[in-house]
C-alpha cells in the first residue's frame, strides 16, 4: 500500500485559562484531509529555525484560518475594528510559506491563510470590510459554519474553475478582512458580488498553489463540489 501524503496544517493559538492554552485547529480541516487520503499533522508556531525541518517532513502545507494578521506586516496602523492578532504566528507562517515555496511544496491557503499568502508576497489587506467597502455584503455569517452564505463568480480557465467545474458557486463566509492590494505574483480567480477577492492563484509557481477566502473544509463533508478542492490538493501532494 502506497504511503499517504503528510499534510501540515498551521495552528492558531487559544487561551481558555492559565491551565489550558495552546495550539488549535478546527477539526473540519483534519477531517477533510483524512477523508481524501492525507495524513493531517498540526504545525504549532515555534522558533523560525524549525520551519525548514517541519517543511521537510510534510508533503504539502495547508495555511488555516484564525486571527487577524497584524497590520504592521503590510505597513499599516491598526484599524478601530481590528480583531485579535498573534504577531508571532504571522511571522512564523511567513517564514513557513517562504520555505514551502522554496521546497516546491503544494500549498492550500484558506481564509486567514489566503490573506497571509497575499501579505507574505507583498500585498495588503482590507482591515474591516463593513467599515471600508461601501455596499459590501455580509461576509461574517451568523448561521451554521457548514451552510452556504453568498455567491462567488469564478474566472474562466482558472485553477479553481477547473477544479470545481463551475462558473458560479455558493460559499460559506466567516471573515471581516480580505485582500486589498494584490501581491504582484498573484492573480484573482474568484470574486463576490461586491468585488471582494475570494480566490487567488500564483502567476508562475509550478506546484499546486490555491488560496480561497471561504471555508471549504466545513462544507466538504456534505458538498461534493467543495470536496474537490481537497481531493485535488491531496492528489498534487502525492
**Cell numbers 497571509: residue:** 116
47: pLDDT confidence band, cut at 50, 70 and 90?
confident
Residue range 6-237 forms a domain whose CATH class is alpha beta
**Does 198 have pLDDT greater than 60?**
yes
**Does 36 have pLDDT greater than 70?**
yes
The average pLDDT across 150-168 equals 98
Spatial separation of the C-alpha atoms in residues 110 and 116, rounded to whole Å: 9
Q: What is the pTM of this model?
A: 0.97
SS3 assignment, position 71:
helix
Spatial separation of the C-alpha atoms in residues 208 and 60, rounded to whole Å: 9
56 is catalytic: no
- Please state whether beta strands 106-110 and 60-63 pair in parallel, antiparallel, or not at all (unpaired): parallel
**Does 238 have pLDDT greater than 90?**
no
- Judge whether 85 and 69 are in contact, CB under 8 Å: yes
Rounded percentage of the chain residues whose pLDDT exceeds 90:
92
Spatial separation of the C-alpha atoms in residues 197 and 120, rounded to whole Å: 17
Say which residues have a Cβ less than 8 Å from residue 29's Cβ, sequence separation at least 6: 9, 40, 62, 64, 110, 217
- Judge whether 174 and 141 are in contact, CB under 8 Å: yes
51 to 6, 59, 75, 102, 176: CA distances (angstroms): 15, 14, 24, 12, 29
Spatial separation of the C-alpha atoms in residues 86 and 67, rounded to whole Å: 7
Catalytic residue among 93, 198, 217, 232: 217
111 is catalytic: yes
215 is catalytic: yes
2: pLDDT confidence band, cut at 50, 70 and 90?
low
CB-hemisphere CA count at 13 Å for 74?
26
Domain regions of the chain by residue span: 6-237
The average pLDDT across 66-74 equals 97
16: pLDDT confidence band, cut at 50, 70 and 90?
confident
The average pLDDT across 65-75 equals 97
Greater model confidence, 199 or 238: 199
The average pLDDT across 61-65 equals 98
> DSSP characters for 197-238?
EEEEEESS-SS-EEEESS-GGGTTTT-HHHHHHHHHHHHHH-
**Does 184 have pLDDT greater than 80?**
yes
Catalytic residue among 58, 93, 111, 201: 111
**Does 29 have pLDDT greater than 60?**
yes
Spatial separation of the C-alpha atoms in residues 101 and 193, rounded to whole Å: 31
Catalytic residue among 58, 198, 215, 232: 215
Rounded percentage of the chain residues whose pLDDT exceeds 70:
99
The per-residue pLDDT of the chain, averaged, comes to: 96
- The predicted pLDDT at position 48 comes to 85
- Judge whether 27 and 21 are in contact, CB under 8 Å: no
**Does 15 have pLDDT greater than 90?**
no
Amino acid at each position: 500500500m502506497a504511503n499517504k501524503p503528510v499534510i501540515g496544517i498551521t495552528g492558531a493559538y487559544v487561551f481558555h485559562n492559565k491551565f489550558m492554552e495552546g495550539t488549535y485547529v478546527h477539526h473540519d480541516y483534519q477531517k477533510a484531509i483524512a477523508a481524501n487520503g492525507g495524513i493531517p499533522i498540526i504545525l504549532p508556531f515555534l522558533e523560525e529555525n524549525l520551519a525548514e525541518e517541519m517543511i521537510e517532513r510534510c508533503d504539502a502545507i495547508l495555511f488555516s484560518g484564525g486571527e487577524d494578521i497584524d497590520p504592521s506586516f503590510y505597513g499599516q496602523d491598526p484599524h478601530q475594528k481590528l480583531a485579535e492578532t498573534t504577531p508571532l504566528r504571522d511571522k512564523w507562517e511567513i517564514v513557513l510559506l517562504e520555505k514551502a515555496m522554496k521546497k516546491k511544496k503544494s500549498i492550500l491557503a484558506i481564509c486567514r491563510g489566503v490573506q497571509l499568502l497575499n501579505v507574505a508576497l507583498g500585498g495588503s489587506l482590507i482591515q474591516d470590510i463593513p467599515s471600508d467597502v461601501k455596499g459590501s455584503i455580509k461576509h461574517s455569517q451568523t448561521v451554521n459554519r457548514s451552510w452556504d452564505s453568498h455567491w462567488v463568480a469564478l474566472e474562466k480557465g482558472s485553477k479553481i474553475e477547473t477544479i470545481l467545474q463551475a462558473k458560479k458557486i455558493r460559499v460559506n463566509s466567516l471573515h471581516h478582512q480580505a485582500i486589498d492590494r494584490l501581491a504582484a505574483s498573484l492573480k484573482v480567480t474568484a470574486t463576490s458580488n461586491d468585488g471582494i477577492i475570494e480566490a487567488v492563484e500564483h502567476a508562475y509557481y509550478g506546484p499546486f498553489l490555491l488560496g480561497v477566502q471561504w471555508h471549504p473544509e466545513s462544507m466538504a463533508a456534505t458538498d461534493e463540489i467543495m470536496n474537490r478542492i481537497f481531493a485535488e490538493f491531496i492528489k498534487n501532494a502525492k
